[in-house]
């Protein structure tokens, strides 16, 4: 498939766009990334996602748009059925994978943003505890579902790996900004090893943004969030 048949409206900073890129790479697809900025938003993005006006958007089949990262990932898995499969084969296992992705998005995204916006250590504390709780729970989930293999999906990365792994760079940024180790090898040994395996996977390698660059971007975001909250 030619690149002009498959375009991703994304951004190097976006964990959600990263999910789509990993899924496309897993399937061995040729695609073009059309980099977007938060401000101003391009006419192509506004036209392609007029409801939420957000990335990522996948343009496929005469540039028809598919929006929302997990919907796009499932779409990719359904359209390109070649191995490896991203979603588990059994309906029960697929439901479980979707559940944990919903949990991650609900808990981890909110807590990460809140801790970055917190004004002092006391304000950071409950959000840091929330992140630690999520990591503890995902450590349990990994040990249960991986069956001793490298990934949540077993021998290769699957839906949970893609969804959870997309936040790893932002966890590192959080550690960088607050000066506290969040993903700790002593507390989360399995997740720490999994994170290394995820970053080194051929479908992921080279996609994760460098921490210093993403930290600088995050600091600008924090300023914007703070200003808009006043």
pLDDT of the chain, 230 residues: tens digit per residue: 555 689 999 999 999 999 999 999 999 999 999 999 999 999 999 999 999 999 999 999 889 999 999 999 999 999 999 989 999 999 999 999 999 999 999 999 889 989 988 888 899 999 999 999 999 999 999 999 898 999 998 999 999 999 999 999 999 999 999 999 999 899 999 999 999 999 999 999 999 999 999 999 999 998 888 877 66
Q: Tally the C-alpha atoms within 13 A of residue 230's C-alpha that lie toward its C-beta.
A: 5
Distance CA 21, CA 12 (A): 10
Hey, where are the domains in the chain?
6-79, 91-229
Domain 6-79 matches domain 91-229 at the CATH topology level: no
| CA distances in angstroms from 102 to 112, 114, 209, listed in the order given | 15, 18, 24
Residue 202 exposed, middle or buried by CB count within 10 Å (0-12, 13-18, 19+):
exposed
Domain covering 91-229 in this structure, CATH number: 1.20.1050.10
User: Would you say 30 and 1 are in contact if contact means Cβ atoms under 8 Å apart?
Assistant: yes
Distance CA 189, CA 135 (A): 11
User: Would you say 107 and 130 are in contact if contact means Cβ atoms under 8 Å apart?
Assistant: yes
66: which 2 tokens? 């598919």
- Classify 6-79 by CATH class: alpha beta
């Amino acid at each position: 498939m030619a690149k002009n048949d498959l375009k991703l409206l994304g951004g190097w900073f976006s964990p959600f766009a990263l999910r789509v890129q990993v899924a496309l790479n897993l399937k061995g697809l040729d695609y073009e990334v059309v980099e977007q900025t938060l401000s101003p938003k391009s006419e192509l993005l506004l036209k392609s996602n007029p409801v939420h006006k957000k990335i990522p958007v996948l343009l496929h089949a005469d540039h028809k748009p598919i929006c929302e990262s997990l919907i796009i990932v499932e779409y990719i898995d359904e359209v390109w059925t070649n191995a490896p499969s991203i979603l588990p084969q059994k309906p029960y296992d697929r439901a479980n994978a979707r559940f944990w992705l919903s949990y991650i998005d609900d808990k981890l995204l909110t807590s990460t943003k809140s801790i970055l916006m917190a004004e002092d250590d006391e304000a950071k504390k409950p959000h840091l505890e929330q992140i630690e709780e999520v990591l503890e729970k995902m450590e349990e989930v990994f040990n249960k579902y991986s069956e001793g293999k490298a990934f949540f999906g077993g021998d290769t990365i699957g839906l949970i790996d893609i969804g959870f792994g997309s936040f790893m760079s932002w966890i590192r940024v959080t550690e960088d900004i607050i000066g506290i180790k969040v993903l700790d090898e002593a507390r989360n040994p399995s997740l720490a090893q999994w994170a290394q395996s995820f970053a080194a996977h051929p479908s992921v390698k080279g996609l994760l943004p460098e921490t210093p660059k993403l930290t600088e971007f995050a600091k600008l975001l924090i300023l914007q969030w703070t200003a808009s909250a006043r």
